[in-house]
Structure 1
Amino acid sequence: MPMNRPATTALAAALCLLTAACGGSFDDDKTSTKTTEAAASKTGYPVTLDNCGQSETFKTEPSRVVVMNGASVAEVSTLLALGLQDKIVANQQTYGMSEVSGRAAAIKALPTGDIKLNEAYDIPREAMLGLRPDLVLSVTTYGFDQKNGFATREQLKQVGANSYVSPQGCDDDPSKMTVADSYQLLRDMGKIFNVSDRAEKLIAASEKNIAAVSEKVKGEKPPKVMVIFSNMSMGSNDFSSVLAKGIVNDILAKAGGANAFENAAKTTFADLSKEKVAATDVDALVVISYNDPNPAAYAKKLLKEFPQWPAAKNNTYVTLSDSMYLGPSNDLAVQKIAKRLHPEAF
């Protein structure tokens, strides 16, 4: 990942990500209300979401969707999981790999809109408006900030486009994110595209998979796990891409583990010195790849650098990508981590 400020801001925001509450849309006139309710019962529309304090009403199913980068893959993966790839006219999200078979290739095959991206590696305002979207998805409000050169939500509304900010993206603070936010994103997209049945089936399957894994590791002592991005620096130190807070902690807990650096920072990332890392007992290592073709090599390098870690002595590491983020495949991360932390339980 490029290490300039906009990309760093986008990634921190993307690991991330706003709980949207839903309500009905009704006309004040009783006759009109009955007509609207009857139409909605047949078509599923209109649908109104309260998103970041902004009301978004969808009169029909979106058919020209633009997915902004934001160093996220949650939004495009959610659309693909729901079978909505044909609705996307421009996608800027990619992590280069995925725990879901075929997903990385499916994302790569999506149209990009042939856009010249700005310094934040995302779609500038004029290019966005030229795409004639009817829905724009952004992982955080950063993607709709005018000072960043993006089209605002109001400007999009003026040209007939709805907009949506993903769970925990309203305040650009992913530190409180949990797996439940991934389910919220699925539910919201299900409502917007009138495929709630598909969304609920995916959620139910994920919940069932996670519950089965958690039951197997119940009562086991949670190993201390370091979660770090592969070959990437987010700050002044070599260990500034260590995750302290956010959805990764919920995933670890469900897998029977605990974040070794959870208390090292109040924010999503902990900017750690080598001395701090060396002095911490790390029982297992989770390396997250962002377009790194060989995260295992990075994991082995770290284990060699810190031979005093229990993780190094036992060669205990896991490499993951999109399943560790907001998105539809968190259950895969839970399963893979649990099997490495507690192999005797499987």
Structure 2
Amino acid sequence: MSMKRPVATVLAAALCLLTAACGSSPDDKASDSTTEAAASNSGYPVTLDNCGEKQTFEKAPSRVVVMNGASVAEVSTLLALGLQDKIVSNQQSYGMSEVAGRAAAIKSLPTGNVKVNEAYDIPREAMLGLRPDLALSVTTYGFDRKNGFATREQLKQVGANNYVSPQGCDDDPSKMTVADSYRLLRDMGKIFNVSDRAEKLIAASEKNIAAVSEKVKGVKPPKVMVLFSNMSMGSNDFSSVFAHGIVNDILAKAGASNAFGDAAKTTFADLSKEKVAATDVDALVVIGYNDPNPAAYAKKLLEEFPQWPAAKNNTYVTLSDSMYLGPSNDLAVEKIANMLHPDAL
């Protein structure tokens, strides 16, 4: 996703992709339980049950297509596992990352010279023309015929497996937790026969998070506002504010709570300026999505709402890919905890 594209438009597409309103396939039921077939000495065949469909891998995929879906979880997971050479087309990018070198590594990946559709994603003919043996999608939306995408059955007919990321089967990221990031890592580890790498990454993340959580145990959790910078996805002034999802799990592990956790039942809340002004916000977490200066947006908010404790104490942090599904949630936990509880850490 190019930095030059209208960011608000992209995030509007993201919200669409992550809600059932975009027309997910009702026949795709989420079981997502992972099982391995009797493995040969090479580790194959491997079978995953993904969104109610069994995907059997006789060998490691070598032509992987990563659909956009306004995510970087899938491409970042492949990079973390050292699988970048398997990617023939990647459409994901946040333009920044908490992990040194990751943004540049993503930018250098091949795109397959795909002409994307209005949702900045890969239409059916372009997908089939890439000759993938594995297509990764954030939700079932990416395999929906009526949205102009190649279906799972069409991919199967050309010999391509497919995979929908955790919580994507029901198109409901409001239920997402850090455990889903680990599940994505484990599934990719099994598919590519690099489970040892996946388990090492998971163990390191769990250890880092546990150490932080132990240090902030028992503290009064400050109320934190989490939102994308310079985004408009609804009718109100603040429509990119997180109410539920993985951000709440990250906040809890960092000794914090979501100031707007009761403002909506969905992942995002669509809030008026009056509602935001009337809420005590102790700190800001601003997520930069192809925004070159999310800190400027954070400072603008603090100036706009001087009554917030966050404004009085200038308490904010800017994050990007570590704050959502992906292999680096422990970095978000650590950075938020350092902002809120520096004496404890």
Q: TM-score range by the shorter chain?
A: over 0.9
Task: Tell me if structure 1 keeps the 8 A contact 2:48–2:56.
Answer: yes
Which one-letter code corresponds to 2:34 in the other structure? C
Task: Tell me if structure 1 keeps the 8 A contact 2:18–2:173.
Answer: no
Q: How does 1:8-19 map to 2 (within 5 A)?
A: 8-10=15-17
Deviations 1:9-46 (Å, cap 9, x if unpaired)? 13668xxxx77312243xxxxxxxxxxx4xx3311000
Which residue pairs with 1:310 in the alignment? 309
Q: How does 1:187-226 map to 2 (within 5 A)?
A: 187-226=186-225
Task: Tell me if structure 2 keeps the 8 A contact 1:19–1:184.
Answer: no
Task: Tell me if structure 1 keeps the 8 A contact 2:286–2:317.
Answer: yes
Task: Tell me if structure 1 keeps the 8 A contact 2:65–2:88.
Answer: yes
Which residue pairs with 1:145 in the alignment? 144
How many aligned positions are there?
Answer: 329
Query: Is 2:345 the counterpart of 1:338?
Result: no
Which residue pairs with 2:33 in the alignment? 21
Runs of 4+ displaced beyond 6 Å: none
- CA distance in 2: counterparts of 1:11 and 1:96, whole angstroms: 20
Which residue pairs with 2:27 in the alignment? none
- CA distance in 2: counterparts of 1:55 and 1:114, whole angstroms: 30
- CA distance in 2: counterparts of 1:170 and 1:42, whole angstroms: 32
Task: Tell me if structure 2 keeps the 8 A contact 1:19–1:166.
Answer: no
Q: CA RMSD in A?
A: 1.2
Query: Is 2:254 the counterpart of 1:248?
Result: no
Q: Which runs of 5+ in 1 are unaligned?
A: 26-36
Kindly state the Cα deviation for residue 211 of structure 1 after the two structures are TM-superposed.
0.3
Which residue pairs with 1:55 in the alignment? 54
Which residue pairs with 1:289 in the alignment? 288
- CA distance in 2: counterparts of 1:180 and 1:154, whole angstroms: 29
The alpha-carbon distance between structure 1 residues 12 and 228, as it changes in their structure 2 partners (threshold 3 A), is: farther
Deviations 1:225-258 (Å, cap 9, x if unpaired)? 0001100011001201000000000000000000
- CA distance in 1: counterparts of 2:134 and 2:141, whole angstroms: 16
Which residue pairs with 1:32 in the alignment? none
Task: Tell me if structure 1 keeps the 8 A contact 2:31–2:52.
Answer: no
Task: Tell me if structure 2 keeps the 8 A contact 1:7–1:121.
Answer: no
Which one-letter code corresponds to 2:9 in the other structure? M
TM-score relative to the length of structure 1: 0.93
Which one-letter code corresponds to 1:180 in the other structure? A
Q: How does 1:70-219 map to 2 (within 5 A)?
A: 70-219=69-218
Which residue pairs with 1:31 in the alignment? none
Kindly state the Cα deviation for residue 319 of structure 1 after the two structures are TM-superposed.
0.3
The alpha-carbon distance between structure 1 residues 69 and 19, as it changes in their structure 2 partners (threshold 3 A), is: farther
- Please give the secondary structure, in 1, of the residue aligned with 2:343: helix
- Please give the secondary structure, in 1, of the residue aligned with 2:85: helix
Task: Tell me if structure 1 keeps the 8 A contact 2:281–2:309.
Answer: yes
Which residue pairs with 1:33 in the alignment? none
- CA distance in 1: counterparts of 2:232 and 2:73, whole angstroms: 22
Which one-letter code corresponds to 2:164 in the other structure? V
TM-score relative to the length of structure 2: 0.93
Which residue pairs with 1:29 in the alignment? none
Bigger helix share: 1
Identical-pair percentage: 84
